[in-house]
Amino acid sequence: MTGATARRSDGVAPGPAGTARARRLGEIDPKALAGEFLGSAGLAAVVIGSGIAAQSLSADVGLQLFENAFATALGLTVLILTFQTVSGAHFNPAVTVADALTSRRWRTATAYIPVQILGCIAGAVLANLMFGLPAVSWSTTDRAVPATLLAEVVATSGLVFLIFALVRTGRSAWAGPAVGAYIGAAYWFTSSTSFANPAITIGRAFSDTFAGIAPASVLPYIGAQLVGAVVAWALARSMFPVR
């Protein structure tokens, strides 16, 4: 969605060759799926890896959170700019669902979402291994309480609303730095530290480290995130109508 001005959001490559190849694969360009996988894996590796590094470098929790937020904001910006013209750089089922509510391209959504989830799981495993930890260590950090669930509604709605605002006003080129800045800020103004992404929420359950989330908290978080995505979609449609 963030690359809508540079690439069709249905994942079909422009031009006769790309269109023919996409038709054979159910109208989804395999490069778009690869972009979503790699981008999602990179995002999980950045979030979890920087959290592990922060814990090892500082005993101050506030400093750890700053280091984690700063690395995530920069890493997300780079990933969006890298894959924006390949897949639209969703990396997030909440963004993909909100996009499908508008475009009605549900085939793209059903192809993107599993790839995003698998990418985030792969990124979590990679982060664990890079720091000499077991490939999978289920998180024991319970996060789902009313305050953090409300925070996830707010964080996700803000993220999706921002993306829609940029795309619908012809400013998609700003998606990378704008989304990175928003997530970096939302780490601090939300009590949940702004997961705002069902795929990364699942991936973070695979690492019992600073950025982890207990499996029992995953579904409540995802539910709150999807509510936030729908709220943002409705608001964006009214504030930024397509003419």
Whole-prediction pTM value? 0.88
Residue 32 confidence (pLDDT) above 80: yes
Looking at residue 25, its pLDDT comes to 41
CATH dotted code for 16-239: 1.20.1080.10
Tens digit of pLDDT for each residue in 219-242? Answer: 999 999 999 999 999 999 999 887
- Quote the CA–CA distance of 113 and 118 in Å, as a whole number: 9
pLDDT of residue 26: 52
**157 in Cβ contact with 234 (< 8 Å):** no
% of the chain at pLDDT higher than 70: 89
Contact of 82 with 112, CB cutoff 8 Å: no
Average pLDDT over all residues of the chain: 90
pLDDT (0 to 100) of residue 110: 95
Coil, strand or helix at 242: coil
Q: What three-state secondary structure class fits 207?
A: strand
pLDDT digits (tens, 9 = 90+) for 149-197: 999 999 999 999 999 999 999 999 999 999 999 999 999 999 999 999 9
